[in-house]
Structure 1
Amino acid sequence: MSRSESKAWLILSMPLASFLSSSLQRLLRPKSLAIFEACLIGLISALAAVLLKQSIAWLENWQGSISGPLPIWLALPLMGILGGLLSGILIERLAPEASGSGIPQVKAALAYVPIALDLRVALVKLVSTTLALGSGLSLGRQGPTVQIGAALAAQSSRWIAPSPTYQRQLVAAGAAAGLAAGFNAPIAGVLFVIEELLQDLSDLTLGTAILAAFVGGVVSRLLGGRGLIPELNGIDTSFSLQEIPFLLILGAIAGVLGGLFCQGILASLAFYRNWFRPWALSWRMALAGGVTGIVLALLPPILRSSTESQDFLVVGNTTWQMVAIAFLARCFLILVAYGSGAPGGLFAPSLLLGSALGGLMEIAVQGFQHISGAHFFISSPTIYALTGMGAFFSAVTRGPITAIVIVFEMTADFNVVLPLMIGSVASYLVAERLFQGSIYKHLLELRGIHLEQKAPADQRWQTLTAADIMQRRVETLSSQMTIEEARQAFARSHHRGFPVVEAGKLVGILSQSDLGKAVQRQMAGHLPLSLIMSHRLVTVGPTDSLAHVLYLLNHYQVSRLPVTEGRKLIGIITRADIIRAESDQVSGETNPLGPKPEPSYVVYQTQAPATGQGRLLVPLSNPETADALLRLAATIAKQRHYELECLQVVLVPRHKAPSETPVDITASRYLMDHAVQQGQTWKIPVHTQVRVAHDVAQAVLETIKERHIDLLLMGWKGSTTTPGRIFGNAVDTAIRQAACDVILVKLSDRLKLHLPAGELLTRESAYDALLRLVTLNRWLVPTAGGPNAQYAITLMPALTSLSRKAEVRLCQVFPPSETAYDISTLETNAQFLRQQLASPVITIPLCAKSVSDAVIDMAQKDQCDVIVLGASREGLLQQVIQGNIPEAISHHCDCTVILVRKALA
């Protein structure tokens, strides 16, 4: 095929490629993918729940068959010890996250706490729960099915690789499917996720949870057989209004006992932790299995199996002594098993205890009627048992709605709804009064996880969408442009990529690398832009969450994302926009309404030969610091082969237009001419500008954009008195919005030229300033391995060239909570500097609660001349804004402080 035929084929194939790309995007939209995966998750979770149920039943039957020759008092403890030991070993060695109920782990994972949920956890939970419960430990399988479903969902979502937001929604769907399959109650599965785990009612979350729970419930009912409650055929479930006070009393008692039960769970965990601390998990579970076997051997045969006990208590027709024994024995066994760390839940045990409590209440009501001589209708024991189940479940989980629905779904009898509502709500109110918060909240707090403390920060970000942070003014290219016209557009702009539009609709993206490939292929400049642009569009919608935007930026390693409505381009998001939004959220700052300042106006400009590989901008305003800043800038520029761009900003009132306001620039021109002379001395190209503006920061940002600045070096007072500001008005805005690298310099007083009012720089004063600069001999560089700290390290060879005899101290501050210090980063940085410098480099690890206090103490103790800091990626980013470490250091140190920050985008 000839070259012309190849080009023709490219042109003809572009519409087909565009059609296939758009069709694939429509097919794989995140919402469609999430719904499909929700159905798959429901199926897998149901199969896992059925497998767990059948495995436990098989192991119980096998246990009964092999224990025939042995006496019951020996067989049950032996099986309990063996099952607990094997289950504990499995958890210890393969997945420690599989211990316990599993509900707290899922709750924490949905709150973005880093807790493992994957295929490994699911498999270990399945096998270990089978061993533990099949050997007799008195816990439920429904809690583990929630964790298994969530873990399987988390693993599958990673394979398909959606954003963190979708991963969270699919994990919630897996949890709902697990609970639905465990109880054959799909509605309860959805409600529990919403009421206890997620507290999220968004369309996608609710839709995926409903689909997964529906599939899980249907499959479990078809394959797994009956649920926790036996069929109520032939049992009268009606009740009279005269029984409402008794149901309220039942709910109140369940609330009290449920609250005490929760405290008992926590006390059991504390007991094992205090008395059996040296014991491994496997031995603690073996002990729990042995104790359980002994107690079960002493119980009547009908109370040894949880399933048989539940059927016996729901149907009723027994003595109060048997019901009381069932309640007390099961309560003791649950505390023994759960405190050991065995894998098993509290759902089924809570329902069993509730049914026993309801049975006792029904017997008490009959006794009251007999003693008082009153004649009124008394419901069947089943009504009281079911009401007690919902009430006790509500007291433990603090989910009254879930409690009502879960019992109703298992019975499918509308007659039980009103008693359930009365008992569950009364129980919830009493339990919350006596013991606030669900058992899962307190179990997480035992692990040091306080979800309520995380909520305010999370909520700030959950409310942000792409529309909140996008730039609405977007520079675009037309698909009809030629390659040569696109090349000229790149030459005029500092952008590294452009959206390509056709009739207002996004059709592609053109990057500098695309142009580079066109040059390599020697494509003619008159060919259409559509031949070289990328048709693989990664876009977001205006309502997409910030978490989704962050995921796409990271996953596809792009620096900007077009925002589209349909295919219409309505904005663009860069990494700089996200950093700015974060800063505004943390500081409480918002974009002001009303008219914005007019663009600055250039009134004086000089140009030098453009021979450098980049440009360094130095805004000059204070003659006292001008020479020191110029010297620092020149040192960095010389090392990097940059040109210097010097800027002086003349401010005018807001009611005057910068382009129409006459100003006196005599002093400004003198300062710029002085910078040019210094550049000639240093043999560095120096460009100058004098701008008239309403705002210094705005003029700096406009200069960065127009002059393609790579590095901004600004003076910094070291502190600010303006409320809500960190470094000062101009510096805050520049460091937050400048897309280039930024260096802030707070000069020591001994480096400043204290000139009389109105006096300008002279050659002698400049010489004095240079002499003072060479006193910068002792350098202190705190480092923690972040990108900005590494950037500070790379600047050190240039900066230390200002010293006659440089000494560099590299330090790293470790919190007291760390028992072992990892100084590998510290040593790596020191090795790099020793290769670059002919000066001693000392490494110093420090232990302190406060980074700023440690750095200040060291700087004062060693009489350091300069402190070089890398801005935290999180603190203009959150840490620096809230703690303002640079300001604290500069305020308490007389030395020069240099703060560096890499480009935002």
Structure 2
Amino acid sequence: MRSPQPNLDDGDVGWIFWGLALATGGAAGLAAGLLMQWLRLVQALAWGEGAAGFAAAVEAASPHRRLAVLAGAGLLVSLGGLALRRASRAGGGHGAELSAAIWFHGGRLPFVRTLAQGVLSVAVVGLGASLGREAAPKQAGAAFGSLFARRLRLSRSHARILAAFGAGAGIAAVYEVPLGGALFALEVLLGSLALPLVAPALLASGLATAVAWLLLPDRAIYTVPGEAVTASLFGFAVLAGPLAGVAAAAYVRLIASADAHRPSGLSAALAPVLVLALLGAAATLLPQVLGNGKDVAERAFTGGIAWPLLALLVVGKPLATAACLGCGAPGGLFTPTVAFGAVFGGLLAVGWDLVWPGAGAGPCALVAATALLAAATQGPVSSVVLMLELTRRLDSLMVPVLVAVAGAMLVARVLEPRSLYACRIREGRAAADADPAALSAAAPYAEVLRALPAGGPGPRVLDETGACLGTLDPARVRAPARADGPLVAATAGDFLDAEERRG
């Protein structure tokens, strides 16, 4: 008997797809474990990192070594980027940000080049670039999901879902966050918490985490003490939430601007060397700006950073991240965003303690970091769960965290509705918004239905560069076939007129 609950219709999410979700998760977990071993090797060679960790090794290094290592990282980005661009021109494909590949290219990623970019990304992060290490396993997992979908000739919708599952599984494996990784794939990358997709997403992320245990330790990423909720902390959450929303909106716009002004031509070869060398010079005075910010965030969560350093880092860390991204260095934004939120919350706590003592610098930093992460990624559910799994302590602060997250989301959606990932997809959506007769290829199925004309030809469909891919086929939209896959992940680019469709 068919379930009366409409959102349990599987929409072609069948047993073969479950098997592919399982394979994607296993591959993502193995790739994540191997990439993190590569990261440790790079850090050990560059900084002599030992049991004390990356931050301690960088602070113990001489100023000349910091400058030399970062200049070397810039040279590596320059040469590696040149090789990847040549491979892209020789073998087709595209170099889009993962969200663009999922939504504009049907989840199709060039397998070998995506893995090569992940290896380069891990090396650059290990050398000290202010970017996250999660980009590499996220891309690797997405590449495996894309590969499996192509090999079995699945629909673009299925490929899109598998790529997102692989990306979430990569995050789950590298950070030990199986539930958070699955929710990240659904809420942030696919923009939907549709029930038919939840179980296979959990399967992929859970298996990826288990496989990664073969190579990575099972431990909390951020070690923080348990804290009790006080009236002062609750009051802080009410105030800090909207302020975190403002900070998140400014941060997203900073990242969008940096990404929009990435160099090209000869500048693409020179900019990484210059920018990362300047970052190394800055690190001679402020070594905390190097790396993904994990150690900085952990110190803020325990109240271990004095306010003058917090004030420097609340400006220096996001600028360093934007500079690294803007010069063309590959890497993630997740951990640097948590670090920015942590120092932002720690600095707010200094002022709040003068008004209403008793909140605690560490809990304030944790509350603000979660709120800022939620607003910056436009993923409130996944962000709360991710921070819960990353700290394994957030449950004791859940009420003030949810209050702060709600305040941050309300403000951020007014000031800057784009996420850290969507803000890097620019031209196509802007062109579609400017032309009422056009539709972005990434427009979801519900939006496509609303855009259908009463009669006549369908609207033009634009890719991420603003180029026209063809016109929408109204008949296919109104009567989709099973081969079109789950409509929850279908986009306008999946329903082009068959005679005009390209790629």
TM-score, structure 2 length as denominator? 0.76
CA deviation vs aligned residue, 1:449-487 (integer Å, no higher than 9, x gap): 778843797527998xxxxxxxxxxxxxxxxxxxxxxxx
Q: 1:560-571, aligned counterparts within 5 Å?
A: none
Counterpart of 1:454?
440
Counterpart of 2:491?
none
Distance in structure 2 (CA, Å) of the matches to 1:30 and 1:160? 14
Q: 1:129-144, aligned counterparts within 5 Å?
A: 129-144=121-136
Structure 1 residue aligned with 2:361, among 356, 375, 381?
A: 381
Counterpart of 2:345?
358
Distance in structure 1 (CA, Å) of the matches to 2:351 and 2:305? 13
Gaps spanning 5+ residues in structure 2: where?
1-11, 50-56, 89-93, 434-438, 458-465, 477-498
Counterpart of 2:5?
none
Higher normalized contact order (CA 8 Å, seq sep 6+, divided by chain length)? 2
Distance in structure 2 (CA, Å) of the matches to 1:288 and 1:146? 25
Counterpart of 1:243?
233
The letter for the 2-side match of 1:334 is T
Distance in structure 1 (CA, Å) of the matches to 2:411 and 2:45? 43
Q: 1:629-644, aligned counterparts within 5 Å?
A: none
The letter for the 1-side match of 2:417 is Q
CA deviation vs aligned residue, 1:835-891 (integer Å, no higher than 9, x gap): xxxxxxxxxxxxxx9xxxxxxxxxxxxxxxxxxxxxx9987989xxxxxxxxxxxxx
CA deviation vs aligned residue, 1:52-74 (integer Å, no higher than 9, x gap): 22322321221124999x98332
Counterpart of 1:628?
none
Counterpart of 1:417?
398
Counterpart of 2:14?
31
Structure 2 residue aligned with 1:341, among 300, 323, 328?
A: 328
Query: RMSD between aligned alpha carbons?
Result: 3.6
Distance in structure 2 (CA, Å) of the matches to 1:442 and 1:229? 27
Counterpart of 1:145?
137
Aligned length: 436
The alignment partner of 1:111 has SS state of helix
CA deviation vs aligned residue, 1:92-137 (integer Å, no higher than 9, x gap): 3235899xxx997332333243675132133212211022111211
Distance in structure 1 (CA, Å) of the matches to 2:193 and 2:408? 26
The letter for the 1-side match of 2:135 is G
Alpha carbons of 1:104 and 1:423: their partners in 2 closer, same or farther (altered >3 Å)? farther
Alpha carbons of 1:152 and 1:450: their partners in 2 closer, same or farther (altered >3 Å)? farther
Distance in structure 2 (CA, Å) of the matches to 1:47 and 1:105? 23
Distance in structure 2 (CA, Å) of the matches to 1:412 and 1:252? 25
CA deviation vs aligned residue, 1:547-577 (integer Å, no higher than 9, x gap): xxxxxxxxxxxxxxxxxxxxxxxxxxxxxxx
Distance in structure 2 (CA, Å) of the matches to 1:96 and 1:187? 38
- Which of 1 and 2 has greater Rg? 1
Distance in structure 1 (CA, Å) of the matches to 2:304 and 2:182? 35
The letter for the 1-side match of 2:26 is L
Gaps spanning 5+ residues in structure 1: where?
1-28, 370-375, 464-584, 589-723, 727-816, 819-848, 850-871, 879-900
Distance in structure 1 (CA, Å) of the matches to 2:285 and 2:99? 38
Distance in structure 2 (CA, Å) of the matches to 1:52 and 1:122? 13
Counterpart of 1:55?
38
CA deviation vs aligned residue, 1:280-306 (integer Å, no higher than 9, x gap): 433222222211211112125x66553
- Residue 82 (1) aligns with residue 72 (2): yes
Is contact 1:90-1:124 (8 Å) kept? Answer: no
Distance in structure 2 (CA, Å) of the matches to 1:224 and 1:95? 32
Q: 1:216-365, aligned counterparts within 5 Å?
A: 216-221=208-213, 223-225=215-217, 229-232=221-224, 235-270=225-260, 272-273=262-263, 277-299=264-286, 304-305=290-291, 306-365=293-352
Distance in structure 2 (CA, Å) of the matches to 1:105 and 1:34? 25
Q: 1:736-775, aligned counterparts within 5 Å?
A: none
Alpha carbons of 1:96 and 1:168: their partners in 2 closer, same or farther (altered >3 Å)? farther
Is contact 2:32-2:212 (8 Å) kept? Answer: yes
The alignment partner of 1:155 has SS state of helix
Deviates more, 1:349-358 or 1:392-401: 392-401
Counterpart of 1:403?
383
The letter for the 2-side match of 1:48 is A
| Seq. identity, % | 23
- Residue 106 (1) aligns with residue 98 (2): yes
Distance in structure 1 (CA, Å) of the matches to 2:43 and 2:399? 37
Q: 1:767-806, aligned counterparts within 5 Å?
A: none
Alpha carbons of 1:271 and 1:461: their partners in 2 closer, same or farther (altered >3 Å)? closer
Distance in structure 2 (CA, Å) of the matches to 1:205 and 1:249? 36
Deviation at residue 330 of structure 1 after TM alignment: 1.4
The letter for the 1-side match of 2:204 is A
CA deviation vs aligned residue, 1:217-242 (integer Å, no higher than 9, x gap): 2333553225674333xx24111134
TM-score, structure 1 length as denominator? 0.44
Structure 2 residue aligned with 1:124, among 113, 116, 133?
A: 116
User: Which of the two has greater strand per residue?
Assistant: 1
Alpha carbons of 1:239 and 1:283: their partners in 2 closer, same or farther (altered >3 Å)? same
User: Which of the two has greater helix per residue?
Assistant: 2
The letter for the 2-side match of 1:425 is A
The alignment partner of 1:238 has SS state of coil
Alpha carbons of 1:109 and 1:725: their partners in 2 closer, same or farther (altered >3 Å)? closer
Distance in structure 2 (CA, Å) of the matches to 1:873 and 1:139? 39
Counterpart of 2:411?
430
The letter for the 2-side match of 1:189 is G
Counterpart of 1:196?
188
CA deviation vs aligned residue, 1:659-696 (integer Å, no higher than 9, x gap): xxxxxxxxxxxxxxxxxxxxxxxxxxxxxxxxxxxxxx
The letter for the 1-side match of 2:152 is I
Alpha carbons of 1:876 and 1:158: their partners in 2 closer, same or farther (altered >3 Å)? closer
The alignment partner of 1:223 has SS state of coil
Alpha carbons of 1:359 and 1:278: their partners in 2 closer, same or farther (altered >3 Å)? same
Is contact 2:78-2:268 (8 Å) kept? Answer: yes
Distance in structure 1 (CA, Å) of the matches to 2:137 and 2:307? 33
Q: 1:163-182, aligned counterparts within 5 Å?
A: 163-182=155-174
Deviation at residue 316 of structure 1 after TM alignment: 1.4
Alpha carbons of 1:201 and 1:394: their partners in 2 closer, same or farther (altered >3 Å)? closer
Deviation at residue 51 of structure 1 after TM alignment: 2.3
Deviation at residue 351 of structure 1 after TM alignment: 0.2
Is contact 1:48-1:148 (8 Å) kept? Answer: yes
Distance in structure 2 (CA, Å) of the matches to 1:289 and 1:451? 36
Distance in structure 2 (CA, Å) of the matches to 1:308 and 1:456? 37
Alpha carbons of 1:194 and 1:96: their partners in 2 closer, same or farther (altered >3 Å)? farther
